[in-house]
Structure formats: C-alpha cells, structure tokens
Amino acid sequence: MRKLLSLLIVGAAGTLFAGTPAHAAPTSSEIIAKARSRVASEKALNAVQAITFEGKITLFGEKLPAEGKSGYVQIDYKKPGKRREYRLDAAAGVESVTAFNGLEGFTQVTQLRSGRKQLGGIQPAVKNSFSDLYDIDTGFFAEPPKGSVRTAGEALQKQTNKPAYVLEYTYRNGTIARRFFDKSTGVLLAQELYRKDAEGKEPDESKRAVLVDEGEIKTTARILKPAAPGAPKDAKPEFENVEFTFPKTTTTYVGGKKVSVLEYSAVRVNGLVLDVSFNYPMP
C-alpha cells in the first residue's frame, strides 16, 4: 500500500511538472535590443554619423617577439559605408593606411625615414570585406541591411567561459558573424567571423577569427534632439550630451592562437572626420 501511494505521489508530481511551461528563450529581437541598450539609447545609436577609435595594437606571431609588436592604430567610420584604418609602427618607421569610401579603396605604405611610398588599390574581395566590416562595426548588433540574423541557441563562450545566447548574422557580401551575448547582462562577449567557400562550406575553426571583448571605455557625444511636435520649421536645433559605452580591449584569435590585442585609449562619436581621407590619394 505504501509503495502504491509513493508511485501515485511521484506520478502526480510528474504530471504537475510536465504541465509547467519552461522559461522561453528570448527572441533575436529581444537579445539585440538588450545588447544595443548597453551601448547607448536607441535614439543615440540612430544619430551616429561617424566614429573614431584610437589605441594601441599589439601583434603576435612566430616571427615576432614573445611580448608582441606594438603600434598606434586609428580606425575611422563615416556614413555611408566609409572605413579607414591608419597604423604607425614608430620603431620601424612605417605607417600604413587602408581606406574604403564605399565604392573603391586603397592601401598606402610609407617609409617615414626615406619618404618612399607604395600605393595600390584593393582587390574586390577586400572591398567586400571592408563593406561588411563597416556594417558589423557600426550596426550596433542590428539586423544587417541586405542581410539576415537568426538565433543559434545557447553556448558556453570558450575564451570567457560564460554562458551566452548566440545569434548568427549574415552580411551582404557573405561575411558571417556568430555573436555571443552574455545571458545575464546582454553584453557582447565575443564574435566569430568567417566566410563560406565557393561551394558554400563553412571553414573549420582553424580558419575562423574569434574577437573577444573585455572591459569598458566610455565617451560622451552631442546628438541632435528630435524636434518637438508642432515646432516651427525654422526653430533653432537643440543638442544633448549622451554617453556611449564601448569595449576597452578586443583580442583576436585565429585557430585558437592569439594574433592581436587592440586596446582603445579614446573613442569619439560624431567628431570631425573628413570625407577626403577615404578617397584614393591624388598623384
């Protein structure tokens, strides 16, 4: 009798728990909204026209010192679709610029001691990568234009060892970004970047770049306030100061090996970025 009673209790409990709905995982839109809110307000993000990142980049590799090789880096973005990366290796006396204005791009390397310059255009594949990088870095996790985003379940992000929601973004020129968002805070932990081959096959992990974000750097920007309802057309525009939060460092791994660390010292939002700096240099 006692055994039968125990079975009935277990059965009733099983029925009770079976009827209790499990906690539903957030949708991609909910994950994106939470991640965007950690950067700035939606109004502020939509008002961004230009961004400049400055900092130190340290490269690692078999032919480099164990502590790496460091230099200055500045990355500029400006709407629509412009990206420029400037690097200075003061020890070697070399500076390089790679820029894309949305239509064409160039790379220029200058030997500072001799003044010798090497200038060349960039290949279509590099143009496509730069176009996608612009969307990746300035989209603030929104669904990409002419692309898509889908939920890819949950995972433990390897480098940070934190549980994350995973979203898979596909960009207009074929770049795929698997983003890992902290389940608790919504902050981006890391993103895995890669492209499929001509047959549509995904590369193995040894050919994928994993970018891991850590820390915070904050900056304040002036953005235009929306006009009040009923305000006259000639009303004087009003601005407000808004705080933005970006990662302090980004460490890149390829095939599990650390290849670079980018540490930002300053970020400027909607600062002065000249259009001419993205154009092919005049001879």
**Cβ–Cβ under 8 Å, residues 56 and 70:** yes
End-to-end CA distance of the chain: 98
Architecture of domain 24-147+214-225+237-278: Clam (2.50)
For residue 228, the model assigns a pLDDT of 75
Q: How far apart are CA 258 and CA 251, in angstroms?
A: 7
Q: How far apart are CA 254 and CA 90, in angstroms?
A: 26
Q: How far apart are CA 165 and CA 262, in angstroms?
A: 25
How does DSSP classify residue 276?
G
**Cβ–Cβ under 8 Å, residues 72 and 85:** no
For residue 19, the model assigns a pLDDT of 43
Tokens of 167: 């979203």
Q: How far apart are CA 153 and CA 194, in angstroms?
A: 19
Which residues neighbour 220 within 8 Å (Cβ) at sequence distance 6 or greater?
241, 242, 243, 244
For residue 7, the model assigns a pLDDT of 31
Q: How far apart are CA 73 and CA 83, in angstroms?
A: 13
Which residues neighbour 158 within 8 Å (Cβ) at sequence distance 6 or greater?
210
Tokens of 3: 């055994």
Q: What is the pLDDT along the chain (283 residues), one digit of tens a residue?
A: 333 333 323 333 333 334 434 567 899 999 999 999 999 999 999 999 999 999 999 999 888 888 889 999 999 999 999 999 999 998 889 999 999 998 889 999 999 988 888 888 888 777 888 889 899 999 999 999 888 999 999 998 988 899 999 999 999 888 999 999 999 999 999 999 998 887 788 888 888 999 999 999 999 998 887 777 777 877 788 888 999 999 999 999 998 899 999 999 999 999 999 999 999 887 6
Q: How far apart are CA 42 and CA 133, in angstroms?
A: 21
**Cβ–Cβ under 8 Å, residues 192 and 178:** yes
Hey, what's the torsion of the CAs at 186, 187, 190, 193, to 10 degrees? 70
Q: How far apart are CA 145 and CA 4, in angstroms?
A: 62
Query: What element of type H or E holds 12?
Result: helix 2-18
* For residue 80, cis peptide bond before it (omega within 30 degrees of 0): yes
Length of the chain counted residue by residue: 283
Q: What is the CB neighbour count within 10 angstroms for residue 72?
A: 15
